[in-house]
A and B are shown apart, each in its own frame.
Chain A
């Protein structure tokens, strides 16, 4: 019988809840009280997330974020700073136990395997997606998706974003640049290195269409069936607590 995983679509939430919920589901999974799960989500208000090892003050223009109503949060995964636009991107997370057949001891290999679900899904949409180590998915050599992974308590969390539309100018208004002089240069270089799936397909791709394609990609690549499900009360309560006790705190967000 085909293996069943839970599918969650938690819609639009703020950055702190989004990060808290990924951790809450991971903890529930590690305790054996949640199944392997794939979650789709988006960010409202828009937000910048930074990698675990990054410095908030060095990466993010906090004053610009405050002025524009953009949240900022530290992730529990490594990697770089990402601007999460409400309309411009879809985020997913995969939460799976570490002993699962999809998880290799080799982290680089696990990125390739888990990203293959996204690659296959994007190809369903006729995006010529390819995995590019360490943790990116590209099409025509341009980055369309960034991904980050952590392993804790025998559970793997991989989350990442798929660009539906891209706005390099806004991206560089909220991320720190070495100097004003290079801002335009950086915007140009991002335009050359990053693309959205709407750019590539030269049409507007809806969230619904994107999610449906990714579901097919995950199901066929991982040999699983995704069953739409709900959060448990445990996960909801824990996410609420983690949001208020961790992800909204200055101690966490400015710890490096």
Chain B
């Protein structure tokens, strides 16, 4: 399936590479499927920094004429808001990917106004991206929590589009949340120190065994130790267990 998808994740990458700039609430959100920027924002000047040159146009091609998408994640010149995806993927935004992106099923996927496509994308890949992006922007799970901190797909998955069922290597998690010894110290239960999920009789296990991202997390311990009083954040029904786990450094 990976081959089919091509590197569509670069879409996420090019946005995360850009530093935050101005943001402003849209003027109106009553359009069911607005397919242009000006449909909500009126004029581009309302969402741009004061010194930004005047921009003409209706959609994102007004931006991409100067700000080229950056598949290599190396852009430093002419950055614009990296929060574009997050704010526009909120449920009340009612925006589809194709408001800004161009796509022919099975063929090129790109950004309006950009010369080069980002890659090719089959129909099922598009469905998956819609689903995962929606979850990333507003679910009750770990993906949306990372979204709020502006960690996009590439933050965990590198630049290759992950396949459903793919896992994330623990060292990727620990790059921000490590080290594991300190984590274990934080989750040591006061009553029974040996019931520590990060230091159990199973030894070192992968983070993703318990911490799921696009679905509810679940403490693996509870599979056998059904009577343990153990909570995990971003489990079924959302957050909870506030102090149970290590936040990023």
Whether A associates with B in a native complex is: no
Residues of B at the A interface (CB closer than 8 Å) are: none
User: Which residues of A does B touch, CB under 8 Å?
Assistant: none
